Every structure is written in structure tokens, then in C-alpha cells.
Structure 1
Amino acid sequence: MNYAALSTALARLDDLRCFSELSENKITAVKHLLTLDLNVAGPAFEWANKISNFSPGRTYDYACSIVLLYGVLERFIEEIAEEFITNVVKVAPTYDALPDKLREAHFDLTVSHLQRTRGSRYDGRYDAIQIVDAFSGCLSGKIPYRFIVESMRYHTSNFRVPMVDEFFGRIGIESASRRCVKTDEFDAFLKSYDRIASNERPETVLDLINDLVVRRNEVAHGDTSNVLAHSEIIPYCDMLSAYCKGLTTVINQTFINYIAKYGTDHGLPIAVYNHNIVCIYSRGVELIPGSLLLIKNSSNNWYSVKVMQVQVNSETVTNAPAGIDTPVGLKIDGKCKKSYKIKSIIF
């Protein structure tokens, strides 16, 4: 599945890398301009001279980068958690069908949310009446139920790695950072920096994430005594990028494992061609381009793919006929084997 939180985070990290590189280039340009004759450089010489004599400039660049980097982390954590919960709620037919941990956290955080509405600085989207009405419907078994996801974003601590794990753990995503480090996405980052995660405590390799939080707090309190060079910001961007990608993989796998029990079982494929064209019985499901398929591989792990094209009787159609169990050919955006079990999810 695609998560908007990841796309947003990666785009902002690309901007921060660009900012760091341009800031480094600015230093080189200033040094070059100061070597030129004033008559040749003209106004650019005066600008370069002011830049070189403005010693706080580097500190301001550093503070800006650190605050924005931490902002990427915090926004990503909050938004991908909200996307995960929203998707789970779409699939769960009743409030009681939600994962136990998610319901427990929802109870506590809804009460906290309700208390915060009394504060003069409260600026949430929901007032006390709306929160109570939705929560009452959840507890009474109302169908459909209304789950206010905004309550679940609340936290009081900065996102050091242990806090990230606690934040995700309360909604049913256990050991998120430890599992993240073991993903292919994070492993690629480690290899690019010639680093290895320990088997005992793999999450300790996330040292730059914790250091980023420390630096953000220092900057917020006016302490800029430990300024990094522009080039030293890049590894923070790279680790945060890998962390976001790895966490997304962990979150998506947790979601897939949860929703698999609600999928329509299509059994084993009738046939598979080129690994990306599968033929199955529709079981009456109105499969369309964009439909989500869950596939269980030989290791009994589920993964998801999207339907790109639907064919019935060798003709491309907009959808498989609803309510009719018919053989369909599906072109998917992933790979499958004839021995893999397939389910479909509509939400």
C-alpha cells in the first residue's frame, strides 16, 4: 500500500538535502568571490564580504536544519499512525473487532482528548459533544461506529527511539524500531554507510535519530554550542529517510496481517503467467483496477499487491461482475506463484 505520510517525509528530506548542499556551495562561492578584484566582482564582492563577516549565519542554517529535520520525523510518525488506524477502522466491521491494544489506547486517549477540550488553548477539530457522541457509539456497539482518529495522535514527549516504539506499541505495532532495522530499506542504508546492526540490540544503530532529538531540544532552548557543518547534516537526512521507509514496511506488514482475516479467499491461482498475471475465481467480488490483493508466500507471510488490469474471457473489462463467481485474469504490480494463496480486500 502507498502511504502519503512517507511520500511527504521523503520529499521534505530531499528539500533539506538540497538546502544543505546549496549552503555548502554558498560557502565555496563566497570564498571565490573574495579572491576577485572589487572592480570585477562589483556588488557580489560586497555581498560576499558581508556573508563572510556574519558569523551567526552558519548557526542559523544549522538551527533551521535541525528544527526542520525533527519536524519531518514528528509529522511522519503522527501521520502514518493516523493512516494505519484509519485503514484498520475501514476494514473492522465493528468497534469490538479492532485490535485489543488499539481499543485500549483509544479509551485512554479519548478521555484525555475530552479533558483537553476544557483548556483555553484547545484548537482541535472536535468539541466535547462530538467526542462523547462518537465514543458512546463505539462502546455501545453502534454500527457503523465513528472513530475519532485525532485523539490517537496525542503525545507529550519528543520522539526519541523508545518513544517512537511506545507510540506505535499502543496501537498494536510492536517493537517497531527493532523490526525497522531488519528491513531491506534500512539494511540498504547501513550498507551505504558501512555499518552493521548488532543482533542483540539492533535498534542501537539508530543513534542519529536520538541525537537529532537532543539537538532539537538544545536549539529550542537557545543552545547552539555544538553546530554541525552543512555536510554533516546529510547523514541525518539519510538515516531519517531509511527510518521512515523501514517503519512504513513494518506498519504495512502489521496492517496486512490484521486485514487478512477479513479478505475474500480465492484459494490458489488457476494459473500464473510471467509472475505478474494471475488467474483466479472471482468469488463474486467486483475486482477492479486498484483493488488490493493479499498473497501468502511459501514462508506463510502475507504481502499486498494492486490490481492493474482485469480481464474476463480474454477481454479487458472495467470490473469483474459482482455476485458472479467467474474466472478472471488480473495483472498485478507485484509477483506471484501458482503455489501462493490469494485473498482480496475491498475497503
Structure 2
Amino acid sequence: MSLEDFKKEINQVREYLKHIEYVNNLANYSNNKLTQDLLSDISEFKILKEHYKNFSTDKKIFEYKATIISLYGLLEKYIETWIKEYLNSFSILVVSYNDIDKIIKDNHFKLSLKLIDSITSRGLPKFQHLKKEEILTKLNQCITNAESYTFNTDAFIISSGNLKHKQIVSLFESINIKLNELLCNNQTLADHIKDENQIQNIKNFPADFLYGRIDDLVERRNEIAHGAETLNILSKSELEPYIKFLEKYCQAVFEILTEQFIKQKSIHKFQKIENVINVFNKTILAFEIENYTIKVGDTLIVESQEGHFCEKSINTIQLDGVPHQEIIVTEKKNIGISVEPKISDKNTFYIVKK
């Protein structure tokens, strides 16, 4: 499930609020005599105006509740989905279960047992599609057939209810991703927080301050879900910062998972270019290579000084100043490849293991 799917759904909330505003404007659109005369014979408008007059306060409460529940639903849905998708992709990337990070393996075992307990003793509706036998089979396969394993991905989201930021961080810890540290280095979210709070550096601020909108959203959702009296209703203009923050927060989470997956690819499927000669014009990488076949369209992984990872397609290859579509190198050669900008001589580079 892509980032675009998330953005589409969060924009549906925005459109819902816009629709409410249009309806409100129409219901109030009868302040002058000319308008009253024009609309006096439209029975549907009379009904709308009367209904709006009688339902106005309750309507605001209902719309507020619907918006908060929808926003929290998106948070929970996409955090859970992306974690599960990350693990599924991880199991395809890393062929043998024995090569999986110890933290993930330990948590997989522990959380799978917890998942079994949840579906047998607690009967959580969220996991009603699962059977304990299937969970045990997957666990057993990790031990007995390590080359053909599958994660119990639902086990890693078993504690995902009431997703305040601290709980989201905990979920990511179970897959060995330090979310707080990575969020501070994510430009998408960091720039938004800086602009919103008029601060220059977010690294010295506690998580409660930085991600407080997420926690407040969860608290509001809990109040609604538990039937508490709704007193502090947010208007459309007050809801927009929550929507914007949720959008940037989830985009940052998606970007972090994408980068972390590329990092895992650099470890398990790629090899580091040890002998980098130089980088020219932020697009051309010159390096030494031997016993390797490289062609246009191959992937280069780039790691920045700050630990960010991205993939770039190789656009051109040159050997001794002559362009090639493919080069088969048997002895040490210096070649140049071009990629989309920008790269730096401070980056670390990886090419596919051959």
C-alpha cells in the first residue's frame, strides 16, 4: 500500500470538511431580501435551513467526531500496513532466516507466542482471520526450513492499539528501527515541525513536544470511543494543522521504512565500492572495478554522510572515454558511470553483488 494511497485517503478527509463548509454556507445564504425572494419557493432549501437551525450544534459535534476517528483510523491502518509490508519484503530480500537480525528473530518468536495467546484467550476481532496452527507452522518453518520462511507479520503489530507516538516507536523497535532518531533526520517532518513551531533545530526537544499532535489526536479519539462528554471541539481551521501534521508524520514513516529497506539491500544484495576515484559534477562516479559485469540500467545505492539511503539508476557507462551499454571487466579497470544528481565524494556507494 503506497504513500499515494495514504495521501488520497487523507485528502478525502479534507474534501469532507470542505463539503461541510459548502453546506454550512448554503444554509446561511439567505441574509438579504433578494436571496430570500429567489429561494422562497424552493422547498428543499427551506427544509435544509430549518434542519440546519435545529441540528447545528449536534452537527458540529458529530462532524468533529467523524473527522477525529477518520484521522486516527488512517494513522493506525497505514502504520500497521507499512510495518507488515516491510517485513514481507524483508523476508523476500533475506533468503535465509538464519541471516535475519537477532533482534527481529527474538521479537518474532516472542510476539508470535503473544499473538497465539491473543487469538485463543482474548479473541481480538482484529486477528480473527488467524489460526494458532498457522502461526505455529510459520514459527516451526523458520527453524526447520530456514531457506523458506515467512514472518508472522501480525505479531509485530499486536500492541498497536492506542497508537500514541511512544507506542509507534515501540513497534519500530521490534523490527530494529530507531524511529525517534530517524524522524529527527527526516527532512519532510523536521522542516514542517520547524516551520510550525518557529524553531531552528528539533534535536534538542523531547518527543512529547515534537509529536504532541499525534498524541493529542489519539487522546481525542479515545475520548470519543469511550463515550466521554465532548467539550473541546475543534473547528475546521483548527483541524487542518492536525491533518497536515498527520500527513507529514506518516510520509516520514514511509520514507524511513523505504530507506531502511534500501539499507538492508545494501547489506544483503549489494557490495560496497571500495576504490572510489572521484565524483565529478555531482553526477559522475569514477571508480576501480574488476571481475564484474555492469550495464546501463543497473542500480547504484548511495549512502549519505547522515545515513540516508537512496537508489539511483545508472544512465551511462564509460571506459577510457568510450561509452558502453555494458562492460565485462576481468582485470582492474577505472570506469565512470553517470546517475541523476546529486552525489558527492562524501557518499558511500554500493553495486549489486555478482
Same fold (TM over 0.5): yes
Verify the 8 A CA contact 2:87 2:151 in the aligned structure 1: no
Counterpart residue type for residue 196 of structure 2: Y
Could you tell me which residue of structure 2 aligns to residue 236 of structure 1?
242
**1:59 offset after TM fit, Å?**
1.4
SS at match of 2:28: helix
SS at match of 2:29: helix
**1:48 offset after TM fit, Å?**
3.0
Cα distance in 1 between the residues matched to 2:309 and 2:21 = 42
SS at match of 2:109: helix
Could you tell me which residue of structure 2 aligns to residue 24 of structure 1?
21
Verify the 8 A CA contact 1:282 1:328 in the aligned structure 2: no
Could you tell me which residue of structure 1 aligns to residue 349 of structure 2?
342
After superposition, residues 193-272 of structure 1 pair within 5 angstroms as 193-196=196-199, 197=202, 199-223=204-228, 224-262=230-268, 263-268=270-275
Cα distance in 2 between the residues matched to 1:333 and 1:82 = 31
Give the one of 162, 165, 170 matched to 1:166: 170
Cα distance in 2 between the residues matched to 1:115 and 1:154 = 11
Q: Is 100-109 or 219-228 further displaced after alignment? A: 219-228
Give the one of 6, 21, 38 matched to 1:40: 38
Gaps of 5+ in 2: none
SS at match of 2:302: strand
Counterpart residue type for residue 24 of structure 2: I
Cα distance in 2 between the residues matched to 1:182 and 1:265 = 23
SS at match of 1:305: strand
Verify the 8 A CA contact 2:292 2:330 in the aligned structure 1: yes
Higher relative contact order (CA 8 A, sep 6+): 1
Counterpart residue type for residue 193 of structure 1: E
Cα distance in 1 between the residues matched to 2:208 and 2:124 = 37
SS at match of 2:343: coil
Gaps of 5+ in 1: none
Pair 292,74 (structure 1): closer, same or farther in 2 beyond 3 Å: farther
Cα distance in 2 between the residues matched to 1:52 and 1:159 = 37
**1:344 offset after TM fit, Å?**
2.8
Q: Is 203-212 or 107-116 further displaced after alignment? A: 107-116
Percent of pairs with identical residues: 19
SS at match of 1:157: coil
Cα distance in 1 between the residues matched to 2:13 and 2:162 = 21
**1:126 offset after TM fit, Å?**
4.5
Cα distance in 1 between the residues matched to 2:233 and 2:252 = 28
Cα distance in 2 between the residues matched to 1:226 and 1:99 = 46
Could you tell me which residue of structure 2 aligns to residue 61 of structure 1?
63
Verify the 8 A CA contact 1:62 1:228 in the aligned structure 2: yes
**1:237 offset after TM fit, Å?**
0.7
Could you tell me which residue of structure 1 aligns to residue 86 of structure 2?
84
Q: Does residue 51 in structure 1 map to residue 52 in structure 2?
A: yes
Could you tell me which residue of structure 2 aligns to residue 110 of structure 1?
112
Q: Deviation per CA, 1:202-224: give whole Å up to 9, x if none.
A: 44221111110011011112332
Instruction: Give the TM-score normalised by structure 2.
Output: 0.80
Q: Deviation per CA, 1:283-340: give whole Å up to 9, x if none.
A: 6467674x5432234x373521231646586355xxx589988988755455223564
Could you tell me which residue of structure 2 aligns to residue 187 of structure 1?
190
Q: Deviation per CA, 1:247-296: give whole Å up to 9, x if none.
A: 3344344444444332223345567564335466586467674x543223
Cα distance in 1 between the residues matched to 2:348 and 2:18 = 48
Which structure has the greater CA radius of gyration?
2
Verify the 8 A CA contact 1:294 1:342 in the aligned structure 2: yes
Could you tell me which residue of structure 2 aligns to residue 314 of structure 1?
323
Pair 192,97 (structure 1): closer, same or farther in 2 beyond 3 Å: same
Counterpart residue type for residue 73 of structure 2: G
Cα distance in 2 between the residues matched to 1:162 and 1:282 = 48
Pair 300,153 (structure 1): closer, same or farther in 2 beyond 3 Å: closer
**1:234 offset after TM fit, Å?**
0.3
Q: Is 112-121 or 147-156 further displaced after alignment? A: 112-121
Verify the 8 A CA contact 1:5 1:79 in the aligned structure 2: no
SS at match of 2:273: strand
**1:25 offset after TM fit, Å?**
3.5
SS at match of 1:314: strand
Verify the 8 A CA contact 2:29 2:35 in the aligned structure 1: no
Cα distance in 1 between the residues matched to 2:340 and 2:205 = 36
Aligned length: 337
Could you tell me which residue of structure 1 aligns to residue 161 of structure 2?
157
Cα distance in 1 between the residues matched to 2:129 and 2:117 = 14
After superposition, residues 264-303 of structure 1 pair within 5 angstroms as 264-268=271-275, 274-278=281-285, 281=289, 284=292, 289=297, 292-297=299-304, 299=305, 301-303=307-309
SS at match of 1:199: coil
